[in-house]
Structure 1
Amino acid sequence: MRQIYLRPCAFIETPVGFDGQAARLAGTMVYFSALEVIQTEGGKRHSKALVALSELETHLSDLPQELGDKARQQFAHITASRPAIKMGARTIQLDQPRVMGILNCTPDSFSDGGTHGDVEAQALAGGEMAAAGASIIDVGGESTRPGAPLIWEGDEIKRVQPVIERLANAGHALSIDTRKAAVMEASLQAGASMINDISALLYDDRALAVAKASDCPIVLMHAPSQSSDPHKNDGYHDVLFDVYDWLEERVDALVAAGIARQRLLIDPGLGFGKSLSDNLVLVNNLSLFHGIGCPILFGASRKRMIGALSNEAPADARLGGSIFLAMKAVEQGAHIVRVHDVPETVQAIHVWRGLRDSALTAG
């Protein structure tokens, strides 16, 4: 069966003076002037064309109606602004890139396991991330690195609940990074207002009901397996379109189950059951995922791919690569970047924003 995908490209600094030749990407401060129109068949690439924005409708009118209509729907998603996300009393606008700070309350996470010590130290670290510019603090109590042991949900709750309570009482916007329904419930009760699930609500049979009842934003991440080992992988036809199709189908399934689309965010899941070459393909083509119509959360901070490209640099020596990947995502319209190094990433985004503001005002 033939499928079609649109990837925004030919990014420009400003649309001023290019009426009808450029469009805004998913409500962000990124503008594009062309699209790569890709057709696949049997899960593999069949054809592609680079089409100027001003010529898109002419190009689509020459396609079979079903493909043309699907492409038009994707284009509508690509050019639509994303609604602000509501996190308790906080409203987070998505018209500029936001930073999500990673707060691991674990002894064994791949990068910073045990770094933050006890509950008070963890809460202090979360507060410092917010003070440095993180819009959301993502609290996790179970490592999902390759080979990490599965822990009992009661132990996971004991790790995250007191930290969430302290940070919520201080007024911070908090996400709970878990795939277990009981942990979601306890964390939401403690003051979290976003669910970030690496299994896209598939690991735990109760997760969908808990998430639906919560009325909070939900991050759906792609992983090739929703078993206890999220890195298990039987291979891809083409990682880019396999991940896209999986996320699109998951979004459609949750919308059909009664969860509003505006509550859903998507994450391509870098590093989860993906090789270095797979990860690079996803980063280079991240803008394709705007066609699904949900805000994009991107997480590459300190991941193994950076070490693989830089003489096996250890996790705590991957700052440069982490910032570059975050900004690569920002320049493709990622709405939220999930990072360990909040001050440095926020600074990079501020510089990017200054350049963007200058381009827009100068024309």
Structure 2
Amino acid sequence: MLSRWFRQKYKPAWLMGVLNCTPDSFSDGHQDNLETLVSRAKKMVLHGADIVDVGGESTRPNASPVDVQEELARVIPVVQALTSAGISVSIDTMKAEVMQQAIAAGAELVNDVSALIFDQGSLEVVASTGVDVCLMHMQGNPKTMQNNPHYDDVLTEVTSFFEQRIEACVKAGVQTSSIVLDAGIGFGKNLEDNLRLIANIDVIKNAFDMPVLLGASRKSFLGLMTVSEINQRETETAVASTVGIFCGADMIRVHDCLEHHKTVVVASQLTDARNHPAISEPCHAV
């Protein structure tokens, strides 16, 4: 069975909107009330988001961990409210208990930056519930990951990491059709590493025949190239996302859904024009 998260021919790549329920996220940290967070999520969907990624613990460089009860208090009411409103939700967490409760509240996807390594119970939660899961590569942990990251060959090492994690997931009972891969742009990588991974997403995708998520939105490597502040990197994000889609990315994770929905639509149609010259129907925004 094929994963639902593959981009379909002549359809835009999936657009994931970022909803940070935290006071200290690198780009748009918020600890707003429930009504405000739900309103922001609804606006993302109105602007083209297919799914909203709800997170209650910052994974920015040098971030400090949050205890499980605090994270639950931040995210579960939001997940419940969004799913009750018919909004597709992914839960951005490394903790099995948060995964479990978010899934019970209706989350469709677990987005774990530790690839189900941080919490020993997370593999069992994903396997037993049958929820879809995004496995991300990270060198180190959020507190240390940007302390002089080094690879002999970043593409080879990230691919090898995914081989190991996919094997662990399958052994635990996770279906391969449930898995999405994320190379972890900005998570324990330098500028060259990030550029190489984005420009070679097809290598990872073809190695495993699994959908790939790209999350480059507003990240610091973009600012290194253009000397731009965090909230002034939408053009840079759009270019990175376009190249990613052209190279095979199925899902794009962004902060500004209004701006990047247009990017995703155009980039997807250009990709189809390249791969399928005789297009019989256009890739429409929906």
TM exceeds 0.5?
yes
Whether 1:160 and 2:78 are equivalent positions in the alignment is: no
Task: Provide the rounded CA distance (Å) in 2 between the counterparts of 1:189 and 1:249.
Answer: 28
User: Do the aligned partners of 1:83 and 1:94 also contact (CA within 8 Å) in 2?
Assistant: no
Task: Provide the rounded CA distance (Å) in 2 between the counterparts of 1:299 and 1:357.
Answer: 21
Aligned to 1:141: 56
Q: 2:87 corresponds to which letter in structure 1?
A: H
Aligned to 1:348: 263
Q: TM-score, normalised by structure 1?
A: 0.71
Task: Provide the rounded CA distance (Å) in 2 between the counterparts of 1:292 and 1:356.
Answer: 20
Query: Structure 1 residue 257: deviation in Å?
Result: 2.1
| Alignment counterpart, residue 131 of structure 2, candidates 216, 219, 227 | 216
| Alignment counterpart, residue 360 of structure 1, candidates 270, 278, 283 | 278
Task: Provide the rounded CA distance (Å) in 1 between the counterparts of 2:80 and 2:66.
Answer: 21
User: Do the aligned partners of 1:83 and 1:262 also contact (CA within 8 Å) in 2?
Assistant: yes
Task: Provide the rounded CA distance (Å) in 1 between the counterparts of 2:149 and 2:236.
Answer: 28
Task: Provide the rounded CA distance (Å) in 2 between the counterparts of 1:110 and 1:223.
Answer: 17
Query: Structure 1 residue 117: deviation in Å?
Result: 2.3
Query: Structure 1 residue 356: deviation in Å?
Result: 5.8
| Alignment counterpart, residue 271 of structure 1, candidates 186, 194, 203 | 186
Identity %: 37
Query: Structure 1 residue 241: deviation in Å?
Result: 0.5
1:191 partner SS: coil
| Alignment counterpart, residue 294 of structure 1, candidates 203, 210, 213 | 210
1:196 partner SS: strand
User: Do the aligned partners of 2:63 and 2:143 also contact (CA within 8 Å) in 1?
Assistant: no
Query: Does 1 or 2 have the higher relative contact order (CA < 8 Å, sep 6+)?
Result: 2
Aligned to 1:236: 151
Deviations along 1:58-106, one digit per CA (max 9) or x if unpaired, are xxxxxxxxxxxxxxxxxxxxxxx94325xxxxxx864441101111001
User: Do the aligned partners of 1:177 and 1:196 also contact (CA within 8 Å) in 2?
Assistant: yes
| Alignment counterpart, residue 334 of structure 1, candidates 232, 241, 249 | 249
Q: TM-score, normalised by structure 2?
A: 0.90
Q: Aligned residues, how many?
A: 275
Query: Structure 1 residue 267: deviation in Å?
Result: 0.3
Deviations along 1:11-46, one digit per CA (max 9) or x if unpaired, are xxxxxxxxxxxxxxxxxxxxxxxxxxxxxxxxxxxx
| Alignment counterpart, residue 113 of structure 1, candidates 16, 29, 54 | 29
Task: Provide the rounded CA distance (Å) in 1 between the counterparts of 2:127 and 2:221.
Answer: 34
Aligned to 2:18: 102
Higher strand share: 1
Matches within 5 A, 1:31-42: none
Query: Structure 1 residue 236: deviation in Å?
Result: 1.6
Aligned to 1:259: 174
Distance 1:215 1:229, change over 3 A: farther
Consecutive unaligned residues of structure 1, counting only runs of 5 or more, are 1-80, 86-91
Query: Structure 1 residue 235: deviation in Å?
Result: 2.8
User: Do the aligned partners of 1:176 and 1:192 also contact (CA within 8 Å) in 2?
Assistant: yes
Instruction: Tell me the C-alpha RMSD between the 2 structures.
Output: 2.2
Distance 1:108 1:260, change over 3 A: same
Task: Provide the rounded CA distance (Å) in 2 between the counterparts of 1:230 and 1:146.
Answer: 7
User: Do the aligned partners of 1:199 and 1:230 also contact (CA within 8 Å) in 2?
Assistant: no
Whether 1:83 and 2:3 are equivalent positions in the alignment is: yes
User: Do the aligned partners of 1:137 and 1:174 also contact (CA within 8 Å) in 2?
Assistant: yes
User: Do the aligned partners of 1:99 and 1:338 also contact (CA within 8 Å) in 2?
Assistant: yes
Query: Structure 1 residue 125: deviation in Å?
Result: 0.7
User: Do the aligned partners of 2:63 and 2:142 also contact (CA within 8 Å) in 1?
Assistant: no
Aligned to 1:283: 198
Distance 1:82 1:333, change over 3 A: farther
Task: Provide the rounded CA distance (Å) in 2 between the counterparts of 1:261 and 1:232.
Answer: 33
Aligned to 1:170: 85
User: Do the aligned partners of 1:297 and 1:338 also contact (CA within 8 Å) in 2?
Assistant: yes
Query: Structure 1 residue 362: deviation in Å?
Result: 7.3
Aligned to 1:23: none
Distance 1:343 1:103, change over 3 A: same
2:226 partner SS: coil
Aligned to 1:184: 99
Whether 1:248 and 2:163 are equivalent positions in the alignment is: yes
Distance 1:328 1:93, change over 3 A: closer
Consecutive unaligned residues of structure 2, counting only runs of 5 or more, are 282-286
